[in-house]
């Protein structure tokens, strides 16, 4: 709670009195320090934070929790005290004496009962009680079932004495379920989680009886809601008999579904049940579907206009509509065949009527839920129709054709919805914003693109199932645009996006007749409409549609020529976005129709490319530089299709005539006045000319690799790399490192002769900039390791040829990278190290063995430092993959040199000496770093590392289990880690691996193979 009076200044010495455990705790002082922590700023807050953190970490701080909770009236102070207790339970519970554990357990249970004994306290102490509940669950994760076998019966019994207590107990059961079934990964070992799940299932009958009793008898609305929410959390794991062999479904549907307060959570429960995929309860699932649909028709008649109802509905009503979509799509995805029978056809049609109305609701998340199901349905119908066509006609009621006919009216309505709601594709740059203005789209909306892809796929299937209906609907909607009955930017956009999305789904003849009508009407609409905004919208739709039908354009020269001519007109249209789209559409058409544009067509005197080159100055006159680059790339694509090399050379010369004239003119002027090259506009013009050349060369397809390596790289290194090395750190451009990485990635081994110079120029100088701390020069850090990754991947031989000092410097920098706090740097470091180890494993034997002898154990030690660092857990998969590889190369004798430095006479003899040495060394390291771990824990962990080294997923989860164990002091009691069971699993994994190896002669060594005399 906030302070009620001005804060008195707290000195550090006064606050530090809280840390003197020889004195009685001053609760008033603690309240003031906590208030200071949450409500002050500056030095006062820093003092408070420092003292409270020190207090929290004191090993005896938990002994003061009871007095804090009893005497403090500040909720924030109480919450702080509970945090101390929670930390103790999570990390040191196992080292407490049993009487202390029992005392804490009884104390927390008593507080919970006291705080939840009335509805008033339940509401006013909600946050405090929530923390108490979580602490009890943390205790249960240690105590139940081994040391508190009666917990379930205790909580069920207590629940029957008081409704408020029962309501809170439902919360505790829900939290326990979530901790065990939903959030156990990384919080407890796999084996322990499995045992707790088994215990929950075995003792669930008591919990279910309590839930059933409440639902059938309680008149307390908040208790019923809490019970339903708890039941919802149980649904995905409880034994199915409790769902289908009791009256649970009937209770949910007939008692709670139509009550506004309960209907949302009830519908979520029904949706969970609908998702159960089992054969033995088909009758009950059908009853669930029928009874829910019948009840829904009473609550929400089919005549209801759901779209309008959603718009004016409350939050709860809108949530209900979304939950309804989830229920029907979940049921129909898994069980549609159960309700497609003749006697249930009317119920099924009712469900689809609701689903179609739900698909019209203007809420993206609801639409996405429906769309996912529609996509599954129409793809299934399409595949069944193909099977019917191949196999022949069977009984109509069981064939894909029969199903398609049954669904035909539904699918026709669905086509209209899909067309009217079509999402914007990536190619469209001119859009209507939220203010109703027509603007260019700068950022690509990933969610819209994913939605478009799903809708496009669905509409393609719908077209295959009945192309004539799709065509009829689209032509009809287009006519309504032309005659103005449905004219709007939105309607035209969605229609044209839908038309473009079904390219290739019709037969070529049908597509031709369809497109002739579409393009004719759109061109007419462009002429008909007045106003720049209207024309821009129509123009963008014309360009999108024609760009989606290259097959049609290739087959119809006149249309292709008309379309390209129209695009050239649009390139002079200055409305924002139109020129960009015209250029993008032109390059798309050029890529698909380039052969047609370098061939003399019937009725033409010359190739169309000649006309483009003749008019190029006029065509690009109004384009911006980046649009010119796109245009030149498109023309380059066309010229690259030219078969006659002499003609191609002449056309390339004509293409570059204008840029070369401008370039030569600038150089002539610069020869007379060198200051011209200091003019920003001139320099920018030169850059644009270079980009124009680059765009055209890229599409022309000539290989400039050797020229870059031999003619461009040396002067580039002179100008760039040497300058980078000589500059002050603050003046070094990070892009130089990016450039070097790109050169290595592109040139690969062609850059080997120049690579030593590259590394000399940028490596040491950059490393000196970034090894002082983890924050300065972030771009240099990222680009430096990107360069190192490129060298490691493409020029590993160059690394092998380095001197030992330089190689160690590179390896040290990689080790430093894997420990970095920047996620991108640490990921890159892990990838580099993994690739380096893989490359080294296939290097020549002498270098390989020297490397592993020198560095393997050091790398292993650093990897364990990283993997046990809690700030690095986000990279656990990459770390596990790398570690698994390290254990695999030891076990598979890729490393033949002894890793031990001990004299040969004292080393372990045999081919597996390195395995035993790694096992022993790692065991000693872990004992030293984690002295609280027992020897058995460490042994089981290391055994598992070797057993799971060929299964990265199992290896990762084994490591995750170990990370759980190191956070907790286990003491002598290891029973809840179930190490014997884990040892058995590890032994089975090792045996399975050996069996796989034994199937391949030679994989196992001669001393590992059983031989009969």
CA atoms within 13 A on the CB side of 891: 22
CB 927 within 8 A of CB 866: no
Q: Which of 280, 389, 289, 383 is nearest to 333 (CA)?
A: 289
Cα(321)–Cα(365) distance, integer angstroms? 11
β partners of residue 993: none
3-class SS of residue 163:
helix
For 395-462, give the DSSP string: -GGGSHHHHHHHHHHHHHHHHHHHHHTPPPPTT--EEE-TTS-EEE--S--HHHHHHHHHHHHHHHHH
pLDDT of residue 712: 64
CA 516 → CA 475, 511, 513, distances in Å? Answer: 11, 9, 5
Cα(549)–Cα(539) distance, integer angstroms? 16
Q: Where are the alpha helices (DSSP H) in 548-644?
A: 550-555, 557-570, 578-597, 608-619, 625-639
pLDDT of residue 818: 93
CB 305 within 8 A of CB 247: no
> What is the enclosing helix (H) or strand (E) of 31?
helix 27-39
Q: Where are the alpha helices (DSSP H) in 701-750?
A: 705-707, 713-716, 722-726, 734-747
CB 249 within 8 A of CB 243: yes
3-class SS of residue 775:
coil
For 551, residues 6+ apart whose C-beta sits below 8 A from its C-beta are 503, 504, 508, 511
3-state helix, strand, coil in the chain (%, to 5): 75, 0, 25
pLDDT of residue 631: 96
Q: What are phi and psi of 641, to 5 degrees?
A: -85, -5
CA–centroid distance for 150 within its chain: 42
CA–centroid distance for 273 within its chain: 28
pLDDT of residue 182: 87
Cα(543)–Cα(586) distance, integer angstroms? 9
Taking 70 as the pLDDT cut, the residues of the chain under it are: 1-9, 388-401, 428-445, 701-712, 774, 903-911, 970-982, 993-1013
Q: Which of 204, 227, 203 is nearest to 215 (CA)?
A: 227
Per DSSP, 256 falls in state I
pLDDT of residue 1013: 46
Tokens representing 758 are: 């590259």
Cα(359)–Cα(328) distance, integer angstroms? 12
CB 949 within 8 A of CB 884: yes
Tokens representing 150 are: 């009666």
Q: Which of 265, 287, 261, 263 is nearest to 274 (CA)?
A: 287
Q: Which of 265, 263, 210, 199 is nearest to 237 (CA)?
A: 199
> What is the enclosing helix (H) or strand (E) of 382?
helix 364-391
pTM of the model: 0.80
Cα(473)–Cα(95) distance, integer angstroms? 74
């Amino acid at each position: 709670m906030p302070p009620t009076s001005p804060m008195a200044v707290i000195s550090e010495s006064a606050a530090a009195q809280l840390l003197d455990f020889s004195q009685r705790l001053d609760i008033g002082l603690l309240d003031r320090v906590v208030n200071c922590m949450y409500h002050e700023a500056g030095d006062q807050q820093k003092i408070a934070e420092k003292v409270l953190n020190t207090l929290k970490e004191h090993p005896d701080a938990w002994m003061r929790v009871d007095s804090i909770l009893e005497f403090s009236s500040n909720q924030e102070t109480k919450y702080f005290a509970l945090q101390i207790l929670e930390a103790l339970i999570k990390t040191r519970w196992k080292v407490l004496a049993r009487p202390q554990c029992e005392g804490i357990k009884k104390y927390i249970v008593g507080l919970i009962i006291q705080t939840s004994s009335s509805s008033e306290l339940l509401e006013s102490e909600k946050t405090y009680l929530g923390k108490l509940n979580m602490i009890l669950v943390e205790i249960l994760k240690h105590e139940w079932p081994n040391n508190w076998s009666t917990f379930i019966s205790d909580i069920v019994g207590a629940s029957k004495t008081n409704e408020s207590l029962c309501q809170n107990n439902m919360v505790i059961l829900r939290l326990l379920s979530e901790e065990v079934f939903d959030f156990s990964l990384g919080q407890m070992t796999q084996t322990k989680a499995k045992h707790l799940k088994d215990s929950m299932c075995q003792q669930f009958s008591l919990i279910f009886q309590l839930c059933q009793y409440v639902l059938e008898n309680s008149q307390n609305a908040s208790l019923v809601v809490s019970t339903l929410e708890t039941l919802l959390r149980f649904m995905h794991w409880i034994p199915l008999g409790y769902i289908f062999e009791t009256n649970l479904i009937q209770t949910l549907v007939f008692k709670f579904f139509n009550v506004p307060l309960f209907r949302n959570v009830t519908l979520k429960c029904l949706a969970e049940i609908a998702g159960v995929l089992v054969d033995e309860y088909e009758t009950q699932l059908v009853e669930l579907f029928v009874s829910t649909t019948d009840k829904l028709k009473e609550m929400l008649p089919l005549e209801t206009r759901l779209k309008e109802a959603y718009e004016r509905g409350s939050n709860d009503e809108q949530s209900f509509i979304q939950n309804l979509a989830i229920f029907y799509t979940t049921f129909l995805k898994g069980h549609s065949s159960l309700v497609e029978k003749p006697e249930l056809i009317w119920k099924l049609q009712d469900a689809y009527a609701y689903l179609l109305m739900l698909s019209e609701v203007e809420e993206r998340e609801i639409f996405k839920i429906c769309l996912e199901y529609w996509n599954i349905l129409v793809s299934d119908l399409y595949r069944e129709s193909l099977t019917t066509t191949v196999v022949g006609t069977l009984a109509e009621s069981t064939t894909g054709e029969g199903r398609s006919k049954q669904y035909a009216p539904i699918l026709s309505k669905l086509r209209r919805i899909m067309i009217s709601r079509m999402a914007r594709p990536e190619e469209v740059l001119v859009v209507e914003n939220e203010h109703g203005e027509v603007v260019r789209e700068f950022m690509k909306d990933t969610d819209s693109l994913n939605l478009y892809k799903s809708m496009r796929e669905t509409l393609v299937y719908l077209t295959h199932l009945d192309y004539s209906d799709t065509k009829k609907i689209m032509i009809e909607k287009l006519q309504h645009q032309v005659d103005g009955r449905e004219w709007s930017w939105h309607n035209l956009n969605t229609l044209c996006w839908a038309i473009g999305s079904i390219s290739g789904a019709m037969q070529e003849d049908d597509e031709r007749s369809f497109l002739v009508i579409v393009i004719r009407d759109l061109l007419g609409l462009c002429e008909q409409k007045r106003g720049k905004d209207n024309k821009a919208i129509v123009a963008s739709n014309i360009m999108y549609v024609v760009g989606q039908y290259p097959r049609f354009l290739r087959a119809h020269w006149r249309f292709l020529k008309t379309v390209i001519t129209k695009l050239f007109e649009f390139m002079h249209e200055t409305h924002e976005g139109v020129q960009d789209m015209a250029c993008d559409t032109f390059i798309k058409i050029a890529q698909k129709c380039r052969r047609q544009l370098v061939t003399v067509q019937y009725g033409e005197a010359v190739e169309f490319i000649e006309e483009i080159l003749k008019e190029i100055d006029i065509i690009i006159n109004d384009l911006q530089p980046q649009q010119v680059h796109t245009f030149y790339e498109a023309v380059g694509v066309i010229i690259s299709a030219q078969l006659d090399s002499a003609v191609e050379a002449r056309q390339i010369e004509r293409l570059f005539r204008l840029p070369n004239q401008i370039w030569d003119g600038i150089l002539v002027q610069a020869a007379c006045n060198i200051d011209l090259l200091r003019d920003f506009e001139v320099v920018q013009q030169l850059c644009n000319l270079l980009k124009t050349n680059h765009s055209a060369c890229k599409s022309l397809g000539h290989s400039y690799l050797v020229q870059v390596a031999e003619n461009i790289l040396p002067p580039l290194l002179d100008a760039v790399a040497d300058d980078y090395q000589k500059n002050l750190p603050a003046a070094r451009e990070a892009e130089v490192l990016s450039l070097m990485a790109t050169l290595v990635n592109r040139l690969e081994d062609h850059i080997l002769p120049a690579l030593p110079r590259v590394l000399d120029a940028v490596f040491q100088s950059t490393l000196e900039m970034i090894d002082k701390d983890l924050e300065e020069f972030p771009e240099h850090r990222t680009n430096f390791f990107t360069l190192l990754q490129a060298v490691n991947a493409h020029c590993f031989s160059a690394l092998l040829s380095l001197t030992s000092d330089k190689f160690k410097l590179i390896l040290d920098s990689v080790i430093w990278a894997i420990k970095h706090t920047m996620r991108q740097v640490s990921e890159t470091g892990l990838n580099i190290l993994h690739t380096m180890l893989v490359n080294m494993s296939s290097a020549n034997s002498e270098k390989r063995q020297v490397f592993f002898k020198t560095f393997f154990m050091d790398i292993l030690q650093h990897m364990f430092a990283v993997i046990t660092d809690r700030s690095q857990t986000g990279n656990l998969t990459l770390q596990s993959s790398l570690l698994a590889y390290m254990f695999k190369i030891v076990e598979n004798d890729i490393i033949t040199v002894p890793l031990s430095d001990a004299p040969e006479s004292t080393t372990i003899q045999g081919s597996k000496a390195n395995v035993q040495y790694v096992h022993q060394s790692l065991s000693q390291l872990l004992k030293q770093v984690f002295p609280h771990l027992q020897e058995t824990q460490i042994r089981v962990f290391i055994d598992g590392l070797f057993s799971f080294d060929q299964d990265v997923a199992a290896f990762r989860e084994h490591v995750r289990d170990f990370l759980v164990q190191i956070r907790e002091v286990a003491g002598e009691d290891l029973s809840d880690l179930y190490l014997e069971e884990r040892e058995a699993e590890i032994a089975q994994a090792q045996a399975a691996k050996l069996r796989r190896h034994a199937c391949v002669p030679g994989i196992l060594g001669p001393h590992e193979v059983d031989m009969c005399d």
